[in-house]
Amino acid sequence: MTLTQPPQAQGLYHPQYEHDACGVGFIVHMKGAQSHSIVQQGLTILVNLEHRGAVGAEANTGDGAGILLQMPHKFMTKVAAAEGITLPAPGHYGVGFFFASPNAGDRAKGRQVFEQIAAEEGQKVLGWRDVPTDNGSLGETAKASEPFMQQVFIQRSGDLADDQAFERKLYIIRKRTHSAIQPADPYWYATSLSCRTVVYKGMLTPEQVGLYFPDLGDSDMESALALVHSRFSTNTFPSWERAHPYRYVAHNGEINTLRGNINWMYARQSMFESELFGDSLDRAKPLINKEGSDSGIFDNTLELMTLAGRSLPHAVMMMIPEPWTAHESMSPEKKAFYEYHACLMEPWDGPASIAFTDGTMMGAVLDRNGLRPSRYTVTKDDLVIMASEAGVLPIAPENVAYKGRLEPGRMFLVNMDEGRIVADEEIKHQIATENPYREWLDQHLVKLGDLLEAADLVGANGRLPRPNPAPLPTLQTAFGYTFEELRLLLKPMAENGVEAIGAMGTDTPLPVLSNKPRLLYDYFHQLFAQVTNPPIDSIREAIITSADTTIGSERNLLKPEPESCRLINLKTPIITNTELAKLQQAGDRGFPSVTLPIVFTAAEGEAGLKSALEGIFQAADEAIASGTSLIILSDRTINAAHAPIPALLAVAGLHHHLIRNGTRTRVGLVLESGEPREVHHFATLIGYGCGAINPYLVFDTIEGMISDQLLPPMEFDKACQNFIKAVTKGVIKIASKIGISTIQSYRGAQIFEALGLNHAVVDQYFTWTASRIQGVGLDVLAEEALKRHRHAFPDRPGSRVTLDVGGDYQWRKEGEAHLFSPEIIHSLQKAVRTGDYEAYKRYAALVNEQEKQLFRLRDLLQFKQREPIPLDEVEPVEAITRRFKTGAMSYGSISKEA
């Protein structure tokens, strides 16, 4: 096995969870003057960012480092001539830099395929060059996976009008050749293929970059810019191709919404059309490399949108927007720009400092939170230096014109054609006023509150009549409500608009180990930020958070037009019964909807559940084909014969079914369900693609609680709004823990790990969700739903249904088991208070011998039988602690004070 790619999935490891966090920097001559000194200064910056990169067990095997340069025409002309190749004028040829197999036969086959595809695309390959390398400084791990380095020269055909048209053609060639060659030659990878830029990079330390590539030391290697990167692959494997820079960006940070961003981009592919690309885009698919890192996939998307016609800063503004919804002083035209583009694409959210270039300009942008440092220096001799920190390049104090730092959400842009730094306000005002975005929004964006009242669905009192004749306790029981939930969870949310406060942690069993039927949501655990990724304070930093979302049918991302914002805007994804009725009757405003029941025949068990899910998927496909904009999944039709499908299973299953079909962005998903009532329930539903949720049974329950005096006398509508407020704030809080600011970008991002679901369920219905151990299948999920259903609809007619008392949060004899029962706590207190060792042993026995109930994964483990090591052979504590390592990304996290 080589390490050109991360290892295959094995044990608890899976290559899709690769991330990185690194150092990034650039130097650019403001006036565009090329020189070899820029290259050398770029390498100096890179070496001074070494502490932000990482190495393996071998100090000379790095996580990755590299440098992006403008096309060095003088150098390329010289080395091409040495191969007998005469290059045309700058811009009329492109250079590709490829990793390839060390095997000469495999390389020859790859070159042959490349030349054939280039010819099919109307371009002429002038020849190849073996790039000289010196691996003397590399560690054995890097050498074991070292690819062969080669460059190709391509002449621009006469029918391509300009550089950008040539860049598009080279993009198609790169995409096609990767798909054609890489399966046979896993080393094959294009670091760059452009007429403007070239990238030298690899699985190197910063210091090794200049040593490994002698090209970089040639005095004819000249550039007006150098973008460098030192990689720290957090908890993941280094590789040659995952080194930065990529073709347009170098990135320090993490894209936390990546899974959702990939899903949405993959679904949008089927609608991509571009006059600039013509019919060639279909030949280039897949346009997004799903196996790449978060930085690489971001680069794929930015490159595509730029080549399809947007300016590079415009595309960056779309992907990393400022916080605009609550920004009171933002100009109306810029706010309109962001609101319009929010209809086209969700933010790529997470802590990020991204430097970007297409070879004609150099820019940088910080995420909306500013959680990655970026500082710059401008010199009197027209140099601009920016990096993850100050001091990466020694500059004489008398030569410093001024210094500064990137601010959250702000853009920094050096325009070499104009020879100046373009201010954030200027560049964004220019882009925001290119089109009448506010006019487009006023014409086409529909706010939910502006939809006509659904008069025939809403009764005289303004409320929807309950269509299900079953009594309220029956419905509550069918969905697993307990009296404890009413008292501890729903009451504070309806009364005060806040979540209940509780202790962290739980001593109840994992759902997969529980003897009680548990809701599907409980099998999913919210992921948290990595060590390098501080969470957001969703209260004190509320200006950067947003609950606004849109639902409806998206249009072609690559062709922005007024109708692209023809969607329904929601202030929160949690909607009332009346708002749901408005969506059901939004067809007269151009948003036709269809309601699909999410119930299954109780008598058929697992087979009925699976059949019902397939029926939902098929019905959704037919509805989309007929032009439906909104699919409403509803379990209101449950009765004695039909049990509700777990809402999360229906939502996530349909979401991924439509992604696989390429139709997901053509429809908005709405859920009408009696099941969700906790914040975690709503977070998982939104995380798996649900655009709007109507928890009708919660509202019925609140009405019942008011009449039963479980809530103080208050208006029903006010209590419902309080609940919606509490849930919305709760979802924002959950998203903020992993550095996500907006519910729009949290939607579909599936920031969860499944604990206790088998791979068949996860792969089919929760595709690409982390699930490191297996567990229950569809049969158990069906049985858990049916246990609740049988309790609600007992065989004996006339039986009175009452809610279970609960017991998840407070111990109850008939409730969920607790690791620390009253008996165990009593025995512990007795042992501590009396100092009686026998009492302690009784306590330990009670804890250790709970054979009727397993609680944690470690309860499944057993000690191997082996001979114990004598204590006198074990090192003392003082010797062990000398070997402790405290390496971390931030000294603050490991300081004495902390």
For residues 353-368, b (16+ Cβ closer than 10 Å) or e, as one string? Answer: bbbbbbbbbbbbbbbb
**In Å, how far are 199, 490, 636, 721 from 472, measured between CA atoms?**
65, 16, 12, 21
Phi, psi of 726 (to 5 degrees): -65, -45
Active-site residue, from 22, 195, 690, 720: 22
- In the block, tokens 């794929």 appear at 300
Beta-ladder partners of 551 = 568
- In the block, tokens 């049990």 appear at 643
For residues 332-341, b (16+ Cβ closer than 10 Å) or e, as one string? Answer: ebbbbbbbbb
What is the Cα–Cα distance from 270 to 388, expressed in whole angstroms? 38
Residues 413, 361 contacting (CB under 8 angstroms):
yes
Beta-ladder partners of 792 = none
Q: Residue 838: is it exposed, middle or buried by C-beta count within 10 angstroms (0-12/13-18/19+)? A: exposed
Residues 329, 747 contacting (CB under 8 angstroms):
no
Listed in sequence order, the DSSP H helices in 351-463 are: 424-432, 437-444
Two tokens at 826? 């009593």
Name the DSSP class of 22: -
Does 511 sit behind a cis peptide bond, omega within 30 degrees of 0 on the bond before it?
Answer: no
**In Å, how far are 516, 585, 709, 803 from 712, measured between CA atoms?**
32, 35, 6, 21
What is the Cα–Cα distance from 69 to 869, expressed in whole angstroms? 59
22 annotated active-site: yes
Length, in residues, of the chain: 898
Closest CA to 383 of 24, 35, 22: 35
DSSP character string of 454-520: -TTTS-TTSS------S-HHHHHHHTT-BHHHIIIIIHHHHHHSSPPP--SS--SPPGGG-SS---G
Does 286 sit behind a cis peptide bond, omega within 30 degrees of 0 on the bond before it?
Answer: yes
- In the block, tokens 């399966």 appear at 183
Closest CA to 672 of 637, 639, 641, 706: 637
**In Å, how far are 558, 670, 739, 759, 893 from 341, measured between CA atoms?**
12, 22, 21, 37, 38
Phi, psi of 892 (to 5 degrees): -55, -30
Name the DSSP class of 343: T
- In the block, tokens 């390498």 appear at 43
What is the Cα–Cα distance from 273 to 238, expressed in whole angstroms? 36
Beta-ladder partners of 361 = 415
Beta-ladder partners of 100 = 148
Contacts of 602 (CB under 8 A, 6+ apart): 608, 640, 641, 642, 643, 786, 789, 790
Say whether 216 sits in a helix, a strand or coil: helix
Closest CA to 416 of 32, 35, 72: 32
Q: How many CB atoms lie within 10 A of CB 81?
A: 11
Looking at the annotation, which residues are catalytic? Answer: 22
